[in-house]
Amino acid sequence: MKRLATWIFYGVGALAIAYLALYAYAMFTGRELRPGDPIHIFRKPDAPSYSRYDRVPDALQRVTLQC
């Protein structure tokens, strides 16, 4: 049991070191973010709009339109 706990401790330590190495890599190779820079989100041009402000008929209008 003591040996298993030691290996679990080593595993958690290795994961922490790997996470810190990945974080350092991302910080040194990533592009710099400045306040006011636009955030580029890429999506398919033909994807539907899920915006709340688009005109979407409510339930009563949908029933009326189907008749």
Distance CA 18, CA 25 (A): 10
What pLDDT does 5 receive? 94
Tens digit of each residue's pLDDT (9 = 90 or more) over 38-55: 777 777 778 777 766 655
What pLDDT does 60 receive? 54
The model carries a pTM of 0.46
Tens digit of each residue's pLDDT (9 = 90 or more) over 8-29: 999 999 999 999 999 999 888 8
Distance CA 9, CA 15 (A): 10
